[in-house]
Amino acid sequence: MSDENSKDEPWRKRKMIQGRWRDPDDQTDVVQRVEKTISVKLLEAERDEFDAQIAKLGIKRNRAMRIAARRIGGFLELDPETIGILRAVTRSISGIAVNVNQIAKAANRTHDPDYQRFFRERAELGKEIARLDAVLQPLLDVAQRRSDGLQRLKDASE
C-alpha cells in the first residue's frame, strides 16, 4: 500500500488501547491511573517489627502503609468502633424521626397533639444530635487531622 492509501484508511493507524480500538492520538476517554507506587526500604529488624505489629491487627503491609500515609495527609481512616457509633446514632435518629412523624400524623387526625410525648422525643433527638456532633467534629476537621499527622511524623523523624 502507498502512503496515499493509508491517508484514505485512517482505521489502519488504530490500536487496541484499554480493550478498545482507538486512534493513538485520541486519548480523550482513556482513564488515567491516579494511584502511584512508593517503595520503602527498611532494615530487616524494622520490617520484622512492623510485620509483628500489623499481624496483631490482621492487616497486610500495603494496607498499613496506606493508612499511615493517609493519616499523615489528614485523610479519614475510620475504625470499626467509630463506624459502629455512627451507625447506632443514625438508627436512633431515624427511630426518633419516625416517632415524631407518628405524633404529627396523630395530631392531624385527632386535632389534639400529644405535646408531652413530642417534647420527650424532641429532647431525645437533641441528645442524639449532640452525640453525633461529638463523633463528627473530629472527623470533619481536616486541618486538625493534617496538623496532627504532620506533628506525629515530625516527632517520629527527630
Statement: residue 44 has pLDDT above 90? yes
Question: Which residue has 498499613 as its cell numbers?
Answer: 64
Q: Are 100 and 123 in contact (CB under 8 A)?
A: no
Statement: residue 52 has pLDDT above 90? yes
* pLDDT tens digit sequence for 102-156: 888 888 888 887 888 888 888 888 888 888 888 888 777 766 777 777 777 777 7
What pLDDT is recorded for position 28?
66
How far apart, in whole angstroms, are the C-alpha atoms of residue 44 and residue 40? 12
What pLDDT is recorded for position 4?
54
Q: Are 15 and 30 in contact (CB under 8 A)?
A: no
Q: Residue 30 carries which DSSP code?
A: P
**Which of these, 124, 37, 26, 132, lies nearest to 89 by C-alpha position?**
132
pLDDT: is 93 or 74 the higher one?
A: 93
Cβ neighbors of 101 (< 8 A, separation 6 or more) are none
